[in-house]
Structure 1
């Protein structure tokens, strides 16, 4: 019987590490009650959706035009949730846009807009602190963490707007180049694959940023990146499957007039669950790589 080489042993060790991280992540996903946390996040997201989308579209509109930004965003929503849900979401954003008024009402509306838009990210902050076992802080330190969470939450809302701009520009460029090179030939699927890969990259950047900065503890970048990529891939695949499910299951019709809201809540719940699974991957990687002699900040250690 031939002996294994060092390279083979290293490869087996890497495979074992990957499988160990996956198993740990799934177990902790259940132990941390991430399904319940996802439902909570979905609830907050549903009520902060209008201000969040309004700010995102405003930021994107500065660079690419508000009409183009809305067209891109709601086209994606239409592909996932269907015509009725996309129309309902668009109506909510329109109503929020015209409800600001003027003078003092406009100032108060803007403040409420900022607070409302950051509510979802604040609920994500709470869930991530559970996953990464953040130690609770009291007094001034605790207040500082609350303020930090709100500021970062609003910053991430603006960041999503910039990512939408990047996605719009690159998506348009890929479509144009694909049509110029392939025309109407079957090879145009290469451009579609490139668009899918681009979407995964943009989502990975967004999820990585949230995993890196939202928790009240230090999360190494490589672990946040791994969790972000896993979330982005699952999100992309799940988006296709969710669309197929809605097309054949008739879930929206079974809820009658509330069908659009039911579909939206289901999608927000799924999105939150996928993101928290990526967070569990990042937390499991950190636990797997921690060593007693390691002096670097680890999960559970507060930020300084």
Structure 2
């Protein structure tokens, strides 16, 4: 692929991203994800703690938040996780079970919102269910799928953070014994993070929406999304370090910073979805609806131009 072709793919992806009003979708997703994150992290860290040391998993999560969002946000996340764990520990058997059910319901809502967003962006819609029993069984199966997807992705992310933390510690200690290998270990750390992030995005693109697409197309789109996500992490970390975004909002500054980061992440994710479709349509196997969905693709850019023209005509003063 030439540089010109790559540029056209990126430009077409941006046009579709803008026409689909992805910033609005990202705002709704960021709100849902932020307030479902704490209980999901508790569940994910508990599961990861069965394989890895519990404190190392917690330290990895807090360390990553501090590296990206700063000390105040990391302290806020640590306090939320501690408070949630202590509240569950002080309760009897029923309240934790209810809290777990609420967490699972929140997780399923987040994945459901991601599915709806990807379906809208990729121009597919689910067939309506007919009959009470069929509808009920379909809803239960759908919720279980959402929950399994959320827990799998969350667990993969937490384990990757723990592995990155361990590799970073190995880099620090290797300086004293094998100074020449420090550079290689650092590259390996970044490469591991990139590969895991790409895998997470590829799985999300492949299994969450109601479409059929080739794994190759999903991996290419996920790799581009992962690159943008990595650069964006650096950019937003630099912005937060040089701005007073947290201090302006006082006690609510930490949650505002987290919301900003999640909002940016969702924008990158949705742009990556647009790129995946453009790439698949032009150079891949294409994206088509699954057996339980149908295509609703339409030409979005003329629709957007017509809406803008109509809005301008309504806002302009009446001619006398």
* 1:298 correspondence with 2:287: yes
**TM-score if structure 2 supplies the norm length?**
0.80
Cα 1:135/1:162, change in 2 over 3 Å: closer
Return the alpha-carbon distance in structure 2 between the equivalents of residues 275 and 22 of structure 1: 14
Deviation by residue 1:216-266 (Cα, 9 ceiling, x = unmatched): 222321121112111111111111111111111121111122111110110
Deviation by residue 1:166-222 (Cα, 9 ceiling, x = unmatched): 552465257426743774847623322221111111111111111111102223211
Cα 1:243/1:184, change in 2 over 3 Å: farther
Deviation by residue 1:134-159 (Cα, 9 ceiling, x = unmatched): 12321248767654543333223322
Cross-structure match for 1:122 = 112
Return the alpha-carbon distance in structure 2 between the equivalents of residues 256 and 298 of structure 1: 46
Q: 1:94 aligns with which of 54, 77, 82?
A: 82
Q: 5 Å matches for 1:56-71?
A: 56-71=44-59
Q: 1:252 aligns with which of 224, 238, 246?
A: 246
Contact 1:46 1:268 (C-alpha < 8 Å) held by counterparts: yes
Q: 2:103 aligns with which of 110, 113, 129?
A: 113
Cross-structure match for 1:217 = 211
**Structure 1: gaps spanning 5 or more residues:** 1-10, 291-295
Q: 1:229 aligns with which of 223, 232, 244?
A: 223
* 1:195 correspondence with 2:189: yes
Return the alpha-carbon distance in structure 2 between the equivalents of residues 135 and 117 of structure 1: 22
Return the alpha-carbon distance in structure 1 between the equivalents of residues 237 and 178 of structure 2: 26
* 1:208 correspondence with 2:202: yes
Return the alpha-carbon distance in structure 2 between the equivalents of residues 162 and 289 of structure 1: 30
Return the alpha-carbon distance in structure 2 between the equivalents of residues 143 and 58 of structure 1: 31
* Farther-moved stretch of structure 1 (35-44 vs 237-246): 237-246
Deviation at 1:43, TM superposition (A): 0.5
Cross-structure match for 2:17 = 29
Cross-structure match for 2:150 = 157
Contact 1:125 1:149 (C-alpha < 8 Å) held by counterparts: no
Deviation at 1:105, TM superposition (A): 2.4
Deviation at 1:124, TM superposition (A): 1.1
Cross-structure match for 2:311 = none
Cross-structure match for 1:139 = 129
Contact 2:277 2:287 (C-alpha < 8 Å) held by counterparts: no
Contact 1:56 1:157 (C-alpha < 8 Å) held by counterparts: no
Cross-structure match for 2:7 = 19
CA RMSD of aligned residues (A): 2.6
Aligned residues: 287
SS in 2 for 1:135: strand
Return the alpha-carbon distance in structure 2 between the equivalents of residues 265 and 199 of structure 1: 22
Return the alpha-carbon distance in structure 1 between the equivalents of residues 157 and 258 of structure 2: 22
* 1:44 correspondence with 2:32: yes
Return the alpha-carbon distance in structure 2 between the equivalents of residues 138 and 249 of structure 1: 48
